[in-house]
Structure 1
Amino acid sequence: MSATTAVPAAIPRKLGPLQFVGYAAGDAANNLAFSMTSFFLLIYYTDVVGISAAAAGTLFLVIRLWDGFADIFAGRTVDRTMTRWGKFRPFFLFAGPPVLLLSVATFTLPGQVSGSGAKLLVAYLTYGLLGLAYSLVNIPYGSLAAAMTQQPGERAKLASFRMIGTALTTIMLAFVVSPQIQQYKGDPDGFQRSLMITTAIFAVAGIALYLFLFATARESVQRDVEQVSARQSFATLKGNKPLIMLCLASLAFLTALFSLQTVQVYYARDVLGNANLLTALTVLSVGAIFVVAPLVPRLVRAIGKKTAFLSFGGIGLLAGVGIAVSPPSTPWVSMTFFGIMGVSTAGLNTLMWALEADTVEYGEWKTGVRTEGITYALFSFTRKLGQAVGGAVAAYAIALGGYAGGAAVQDETALNAIRYASGLIPVVFILIGMLIFFRYPLTEQTFTTMVAETQARRLAQQ
């Protein structure tokens, strides 16, 4: 355990444009693997590999729970790491490429083996390894924001740029993959070849993005303890009420989001009758980030993070009901509500990252030790749990509705199950998240006081 001796600067240095763009590039690289699985892995398993929707739902639940524990492992790995490149940046060099290569394997190897049992086993292995590798790059990436700046406005900007990186990647995925789904409907072999080539190209692009993040990121926030012990890591979590409440609320919100993401492709192809409409739905829902993300720092200054968070949740309730009841004969109505849901999820996701960084300060204020890694790992654990529950609930819902993988036409019960999984399941979980977050205690005034007291304590010790 070693301590730094630098005196904190009186006026924290602001981040430059390249650092914001580089941070956005990092999440763009992450989502070449993460969003690819969130949007398209279920349809790959059901329509190409031949795994039933129910079996795929169980797979999602098991592997994404595994991913959550992998996050805790990654958080501890980060907390005890310190190199000449910093605590977080080395992971982008050494864990980034394996993530992207395992994404290729996840969308290739299960379709190359024969026998239903063998296919399922390979699916578990490839997706499980992808989750472990992703944790080793995503936990350092998410933790990096708290180490780059302590200014709330700068952190809100980092969160906004992160969401812009996510949005650009997700929209690109829709434009690239959706036509493949329509073109190769009923041709699993053709779809398999196309996905293998697509994910290989994404791997090359993603490695370049990780290198750009490594080159532009800087860890500037002082830490008194560089290599954190396991006892110190978990001590900062104990009593961190803002982090626990944020995790619980985020679990509910993300269950809603991933339920919708998992079946959105089915909604376009089967409910609306055209897989190419997935591109329009994605542009409307994800494209809202470009409007909302730049406004979030202003909202934070005007009404605070908590009020803004709850407001975006209320917008999501309206959108979920609209998606569930929109008549398939008028696609523009559904598209409108997908756009409204995009406003909700863009605001919620952007604020989550800024709120998580604030809980790091709370933990240091309470214990004197900065533990970005384990703090972000616990937060990410709940995100993975939300992904697990949301994906599994959506898959089980369409399975109960009688969805038949590979069928040209689905019956009315299956179509209704897809609509309800897209709209009503999100409504239930968004409402739960709002009720939890209503009692979130960390206000802007409290945050400012905490940072000032931590700074004064550090100066007194020196």
Structure 2
Amino acid sequence: MKKLSKLSIVGYGAGDAANNLAFTTATMFLLVYYTDVAGISAAAAGTLLLVVRIFDAFADVFAGRMVDRTFSKRFGKFRPFIMFGSIPLLLLSVATFSVPQLGESGTLLYAYVTYAALGLAYSLVNIPYGSLAGAMTQDPGERAKLGSARMVGGLLVGSALGIFVAPLIKPGADLQGTFTTITLLFVVIGAALYFFTVMTAKERVHRAVPNVSVRQSMETLKGNKPLLMLCISSFFFLSGYLALTSVQLYYLRDVLGRLDLYPVLSIIQLAATFVLAGFMPRLVRTIGKKRVYIYSSVLTVIGGAIIFFTPAGQIWIGFSGLVISLVGVLAVNIVVWALEADTVEYGEWKTGVRTEGITYALFSFTRKTGQAVGGALAAYALALGGYKSGGAQTADALFGIQLAAGAIPAVLTILAVLVMSKYKLTDAMHAEILTEIQARRTSGEAAASEAAPESASEAAPDAASEAAPDAAGKTAAAAKPLPTSTN
């Protein structure tokens, strides 16, 4: 198979840039918008984030089932969802950041409905988008490049938000007008980016598309222990990351008193992303994806400890902790998508059934659940400290912010590392699995071609259609266990 072109890699990255016009805008600013613009209390906002994001996690499973049962001859398995779901997603982002004043109950109800609708629309676009990488290539190095492109696309958007939008979030500003203008602009930009992705990031790993039952999907997931370990670890990691992201602006503005450093932080993140993306494929080949994940997570723990224990007003020490923590997050978020793609082949090797959509959906489900917990923990930490919008914060309120930005992410990331240490699907083992899968496919195709002439001569039209899956099933049943690599 030919190597991926640069255009297809860039096109894939453009898709995550479009995704993050909705997703990162929400993770960075929605809690601030709810507390400081819509007038929703921190505790109520925390419960809202928890409930809606858990609903969103179940929406991922629904989307995964749809993906596994859908195929278009023209656009393939995944791109139709991106093409037709992108505009509703972007328009719902506008609605989410346009909360009207309908009284306490009415305002809260509107926020619940619009954010839940946004989450469902995001699932119907992001699940196929994430699964697309596994259908573009099976090469670990190229998958690392796609993961890097995805991270670059997302961070370009995140950096732009940090540089141009975050400094505007200050008392007395017309924040509602700001968010309305920005989200409307994102509809236009996002539509163009999604179109570019659909036209350039095409499926190249061609396979038969079986009608996968719910039972087959569940059996595939049940035997996929690497996926289970990755999901649990990602749950803890994302919980910590979302706690930090949700209060990052509060930390710079209220604890360090330097909201003007937000653009600087965004520029550092952007530069770090390009550096990491450049040498990540080589790093993966040298030490493996698992070790990259664990070592990067340790950086996040160190940064979180610095954030929590640094007294308010110690600007550069606290800022350094923030940088260290986020660099670790960047590296993990680059490599984690390649790890998820590897678990798809592991599941196929174990069961003979390939289920990209439901596998990605389960992975995304646990990540979304982690995001729900992390965002809620951050909001509850603000409420615990007695945070009040629009003025100077008390010492207790500052402690609540540091708790959410530092201690909670550090503790949860330690748990993520402990779980990931049990992950057994090394890169060497994955390479052997790919060889085994390819041998099965070759054997199955040969059996089908031999059965066809016999079927015709005996005038038994159903024989050929039954021979191929039967042969493939026998080949799968004869698979030998692979050695567990220690690399």
Using structure 2 for the length normalisation, give the TM-score: 0.89
1:336 aligned onto 2:320 = yes
Q: 2:405 aligns with which of 422, 429, 432?
A: 422
Name the aligned partner's letter for residue 165 of structure 1.
Answer: G
Q: In structure 1, give the amino acid aligned to 2:377.
A: V
Question: Take 1:22 and 1:323, find their aligned partners in 2: how far apart are those partners?
Answer: 37
> Which residue of structure 2 lines up, in the alignment, with residue 72 of structure 1?
61
Contact 1:312–1:344 (Cα < 8 Å) also in 2 = yes
The answer on whether the counterparts of 1:256 and 1:425 sit within 8 Å (CA) in structure 2 is yes
Q: Report how far residue 346 of structure 1 moved.
A: 1.0
Q: Post-superposition shift, 1:287?
A: 4.1
Contact 1:23–1:162 (8 Å) recurs in 2:
yes
1:99 aligns with 2:89: yes
Distance in 1, Cα, partners of 2:334 & 2:59:
24
Aligned CA distance change for structure 1 residues 431 and 385 (closer, same or farther; 3 Å): same
Q: What is the identity, as a one-letter code, of the residue corresponding to 2:120?
A: L
Structure 2 residue aligned with 1:392: 376
Q: 1:206 to 1:173 in 2, by over 3 A?
A: same
Partner of 1:63: 52
Whether 1:34 and 2:23 are equivalent positions in the alignment is: yes
Q: Which amino acid aligns with 2:40?
A: I
Q: Which residue of 2 aligns with 1:246?
A: 230
* Preserved CA contact (<8 Å) 2:312 2:398: no
Deviation for aligned residue 1:297? 1.0
Separation in structure 1 between the aligned mates of residue 134 and residue 33 of structure 2, nearest angstrom = 36
Corresponding letter in the other structure for 2:115: Y
Task: For 1:337-416, list aligned pairs within 5 A.
Answer: 337-405=321-389, 407-416=390-399
Q: Does 1:289 align with 2:273?
A: yes
Identify the structure with bigger relative contact order (alpha carbons < 8 Å, sequence gap 6+).
1
Other-structure match for 2:159: 171
Q: Do residues 90 (structure 1) and 80 (structure 2) align?
A: yes
Distance in 2 between the 1:94 and 1:306 partners? Answer: 35
Q: How does 1:45-60 map to 2 (within 5 A)?
A: 45-60=34-49
CA–CA separation in structure 2 for the residues paired with 1:95 and 1:225: 22
Matched, 1:150 2:133: no
**1:95 aligns to what SS in structure 2?**
helix
Say if 1:284 and 1:342, in contact at 8 Å, map to a contact too. no
Aligned pair partner of 1:209 in 186, 193, 205: 193
**Which is worse superposed, 393-402 or 229-238?**
229-238
Contact 1:288 1:342 in 2 (8 A): no
Indicate the percent of aligned positions where both proteins have the same amino acid.
54
Task: Give the number of equivalent residue pairs.
Answer: 444
The residue identity in structure 2 corresponding to 1:82 is: F
Q: Is the 8 A contact 2:64 2:357 kept in 1?
A: yes
Distance in 2 between residues matched to 1:82 and 1:227, nearest whole Å: 10
Distance in 2 between residues matched to 1:270 and 1:277, nearest whole Å: 12
CA contact (8 A) 1:284 1:335 kept: no
Query: What residue in structure 2 maps to residue 136 of structure 1?
Result: 124
Segments of 5+ residues of structure 2 without an aligned counterpart are 446-487
* Corresponding residue number in structure 1 for 2:449: none
How far, CA to CA, are the matches of 1:415 and 1:283 in structure 2?
Answer: 26
| Residue 293 (structure 1) shift | 2.1
2:118 maps to amino acid: L
- 2-structure distance, mates of 1:119, 1:197: 21
Aligned to 1:162: 150
Distance 1:181 1:317 in 2: 28
**Maintained 8 Å contact 1:323/1:334:** yes
Are residues 1:326 and 2:310 paired?
yes
* SS of the residue 1:390 aligns to: helix
CA change 1:434–1:333 in 2 (3 A) is: same
SS of match in other structure, 2:37? helix
Unaligned runs of 5+ in 1: 1-11
Give the corresponding residue for 1:5: none
Structure 1 equivalent of residue 215 of structure 2: 231
Distance 1:232 1:239 in 2: 11
